[in-house]
Amino acid sequence: MKTQVAIIGAGPAGALLSLILHQRGIESIVIERQSKPYVLDRIRAGVLEWTSVELLESIGLGERLHAEGHRHDQVKIGWGGNEILDIEFQKLAGKPMMAYGQTKVQEDLYAAAERENLNIIFESSDVELHDITTDSPYVTFTTNGETQRVDCDFIAGCDGQHGVSRKAIPDNKRTEFERAYPFGWLGILSETPPLPHLLYANNEKGFALCSERNPMLSRYYVQCSLDDTVDDWSDDRFWTELLARLPESQAELVVTGPSIEKSIAPLRSEVIEPMQYGNLFLAGDAAHIVPPTGAKGLNLAIADVHYLSEAFVARYAGEPAKLAAYSETALKRVWSTVRFSWWMTVLLHRFPGESSFDQRMREEDLAYLTRSESARRSIAEQYVGLDY
């Protein structure tokens, strides 16, 4: 097969890149390891920056997003037992955020791929990248027991943190920056009405988060030990621990119920530099991982795809400069977002073995946020997303 851009991975980054390129007249073939139902079954992020909302609107994906998404003008942070501070995005940063599950974004992308006849090849294994530093790179993979080859001009590595693309950059050309956090998030879905606002909480017992997927589907998290397994956490233990970590006035509002999904995810920060090598370009989790505290993973993938698609469009119009500068351009937002996600994680979690001084400094940060509108504006503008 031959195409202009071969895309590895049909998660949010790969599927979005293929759709935008198609709408701008650039052909692509997407090679995805899993089946379509498998990708759609993943429970992932739940918050879109307004910048992401506007991008999805611009490619015709605004209808369901506005019909089923829930626009939020603020989030709440519980701290010091029963303190609550409001981060009022609309008032402080002039933009809201949209609660809309990544699963729905993926469904919308796949529906658009069907409508626009995009070429996504699911259940492909043994993907290999070849000749990425030449002008004739190609990708081989196996599907239906047969080895396939895609000749292309460029390869976009959108294959996430466990993908093969990042490793195609030689070890002596690739720098990996990483921070593993000494705790995980235990998350559940319950068919119960969510709180009116997203609520983050820092508590002596650890972090908690109350979020949503729709008016009758809630998403809750508690910080847990990396040694924990889902079996260590009955629903009763989960709800007891969650409510104990929330300010009482908020805990009273939580409607508990049986979990229909329960999973534990480790938290890590990671950046791969550079995000391009020869004719290979990385986007999304293939290039960086952020802890979910800042709700940035999906939004950063969308931002990378914005920069990369603009660069491909310019390149095919005879302007190669943007593509040559893609990594430098994308990394500015990546590092800014990685810092914000790290900062929110340190602000809101309890670190095993930390001293009482560390927790007091954390509580002073939260007290300062309560007093200072400028400090709250700083969080607000980063949470809803800086302009591209």
Residues that bind ligand APR (CB under 6 A): 8-14, 31-34, 39, 44-45, 102, 124, 127, 158-160, 162-164, 284-285, 297-298, 301
Among the options 12, 137, 291, 292, which is catalytic?
292
**Is 292 among the catalytic positions?**
yes
**Residue 127 binds which entry of ligand PHB, ligand APR, none, with Cβ cut-offs from 5 to 8 Å by kind?**
ligand APR
- Residue 45 C-beta: closest distance to ligand APR, Å: 4
Q: Which is nearer to ligand PHB, 154 or 383 (CB)?
A: 383
| Residue 206 interface partner, choices ligand APR, ligand PHB, none, CB cut-off 5-8 Å depending on type | none
CB of 45 to ligand PHB, least distance (A): 5
Residue 384 is a binding residue for ligand PHB (CB under 6 A): no
> For residues 100 and 281, which CB has a smaller minimum distance to ligand PHB in the complex?
100
Out of 200, 220, 307, 316, the active site residue is 200
296 among known catalytic residues: yes
List the one residue from 190, 203, 279, 293 that touches ligand PHB (CB under 6 A): 293
Q: Does 51 bind ligand PHB (CB under 6 A)?
A: no
Is residue 46 near ligand PHB by the rule CB under 6 A? Answer: yes
Q: Is 200 a catalytic residue?
A: yes
> In 3D, which of 11, 31, 12, 15 has the Cα closest to residue 23?
15
* Residue 45 is a binding residue for ligand PHB (CB under 6 A): yes
Q: Report the residue number, 190 or 293, with the smaller CB distance to ligand APR.
A: 293
295 is a site residue for ligand PHB (CB under 6 A): yes
251 backbone dihedrals φ, ψ, rounded to 5°: -60, -35
14's contact among ligand APR, ligand PHB, none, with CB below 5 to 8 A by partner kind, is: ligand APR
Q: Which residues are catalytic?
A: 72, 200, 292, 296, 383
